């Protein structure tokens, strides 16, 4: 995807003298969010999109941040506006999301874009869900008619990916913390999407033999015993990583157990996350094309 975007960015520059531009806002001092935003800014450089990052302190109020977003809305040189989530608890996240110009909402979080997606007329599609569909399609995983099960109902992943799978004619089940006998439901799934944020939560008995398992979780493990329970042959390497940098990453899917039954499983890191950033580049390019009519 990044290669396709890079070519198109080059064409826009050569033929129309237009350069897409993304503005990313990071509030507070969440380490993971800082890494994600850094990766996005880096990806912009890779594909030739201009980017700017604004770091705001944890003490930023809803009012402050609204003022920042409104200022960006007025800046006609900005094609894509991104406010990294989650925001600090004291900030009214919904108010911020609603303040972003829907025509430049490259995350697809604005109610207008969410509504269009649910209606089956997507404009900006949230990046991780779009990346998941891209992954399935490029790997020739049949979606139409498949039983797809999404575990997690977040605005960022669970709900939108369910909409996209439904639009592609899957039979979609959305599970969550109140679902009764979760493994019996997830075990029906030909395509299982795990987006709950709990390390190694999806185990062997949750997975239909041969299923495609998409692991959206990114969880930090800091405990050697936990690493030993999750990583099998790889455990010593992971424990060493914990000793070296304090943590190791694992998805929502138990890697060793899943690989005993699943047809395929996306790794963490290096799976869905890469697609998320690539789709953001594509959404930003799309915003620039629409806005500038090229
Ligand atoms: N937090 C987790 N995923 C995302 C995303 O795709 N965009 C933004 N802005 N914040 C996120």
Q: For residue 107, indicate whether it is catalytic.
A: yes
Residue 20 confidence class, pLDDT cut points 50, 70, 90: very high
Residue 159 is predicted with a pLDDT of: 98
Q: pTM of this prediction?
A: 0.96
Confidence of residue 206 (pLDDT cuts 50, 70, 90): very high
- Return the pLDDT at 202: 98
Q: Do 206 and 186 touch, CB atoms closer than 8 A?
A: yes
**Could you identify the residue written with the tokens 């455990």?**
235
The percent of residues in the chain predicted with pLDDT above 70, rounded, is 100
User: What ligand 1 atom has the least distance to the C-alpha of 128?
Assistant: 6
Categorize the per-residue pLDDT at 69 as very low, low, confident or very high, splitting at 50, 70 and 90: very high
Indicate the pLDDT class of residue 214, thresholds 50, 70 and 90: very high
Q: How confident is the model at residue 164 (pLDDT cuts 50, 70, 90)?
A: very high
Spatial CA neighbour of 98 closest among 129, 65, 121: 65
Q: Which atom of ligand 1 is closest in space to residue 276's alpha carbon?
A: 6
Mean predicted confidence (pLDDT) in 77-104 = 98
Q: Among 34, 36, 100, 281, say which to mutate for ligand 1: greatest number of ligand atoms within 8 Å of CB.
A: 36
Whole-angstrom distance, CA of residue 139 vs CA of residue 31: 32
- Work out the average pLDDT over 249-256: 97
Catalytic status, residue 167: no
* Backbone phi, psi, residue 266, to 5°: -80, 135
Q: Band the pLDDT of 285: cuts 50, 70, 90.
A: very high
Instruction: Give the whole-number percent of the chain exceeding pLDDT 90.
Output: 99
DSSP category for residue 178: T
Quick check: CB of 105 below 6 Å from ligand 1? Answer: no
Rounded mean pLDDT of 159-183?
Answer: 98
- Catalytic-role residue among 79, 107, 190, 252: 107
Ligand 1: nearest atom to the Cα of 84:
9
The answer to whether residue 140 is catalytic is: no
Give the mutation target among 85, 130, 160, 195 for probing the ligand 1 site: most ligand atoms within 8 A of CB.
Answer: 85
Distance, in Å, from the CA atom of 174 to the CA atom of 179, rounded to the nearest integer, reads: 9
Instruction: Name residue, tokens 């979080």.
Output: 109
The residue-averaged pLDDT of 267-284 equals: 96
Largest CA-CA distance found in the chain, in angstroms, rounded: 58
Q: What pLDDT score does 138 carry?
A: 96
């Amino acid at each position: 995807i990044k290669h396709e975007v890079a070519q198109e960015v080059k064409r826009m520059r050569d033929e129309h003298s237009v350069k897409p531009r993304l503005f990313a806002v990071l509030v507070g001092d969440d380490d993971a969010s800082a890494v994600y935003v850094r990766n996005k800014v880096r990806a912009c450089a890779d594909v030739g999109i201009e980017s700017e990052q604004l770091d705001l302190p944890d003490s930023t109020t809803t009012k402050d941040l609204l003022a920042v977003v409104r200022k960006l809305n007025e800046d006609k040189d900005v094609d894509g506006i991104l406010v990294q989530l989650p925001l600090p608890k004291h900030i009214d996240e919904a108010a911020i999301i609603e303040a972003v110009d829907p025509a430049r909402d490259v995350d697809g979080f604005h109610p207008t874009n969410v509504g269009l997606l649910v209606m089956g007329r997507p404009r900006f599609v949230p990046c991780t869900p779009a990346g998941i569909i891209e992954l399935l399609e490029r790997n020739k995983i049949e979606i139409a008619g498949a039983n797809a099960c999404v575990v997690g109902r977040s605005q960022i992943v669970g709900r939108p990916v369910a909409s996209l799978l439904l639009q592609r004619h899957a039979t979609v089940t959305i599970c969550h913390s109140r679902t009764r006998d979760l493994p019996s439901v997830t075990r029906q799934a030909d395509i299982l999407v795990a987006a709950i944020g709990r390390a190694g939560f999806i185990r062997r008995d949750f997975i239909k033999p041969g299923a495609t398992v998409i692991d959206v979780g990114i969880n930090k493990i800091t405990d050697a015993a936990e690493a030993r329970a999750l990583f099998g042959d790889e455990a010593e390497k992971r424990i060493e990583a914990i000793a070296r940098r304090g943590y190791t990453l694992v998805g929502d899917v138990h890697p060793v157990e899943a690989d005993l039954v699943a047809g395929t499983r996306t790794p963490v890191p290096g799976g869905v996350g890469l697609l998320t950033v690539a789709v953001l580049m594509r959404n930003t390019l799309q915003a620039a094309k629409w806005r500038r009519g090229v």
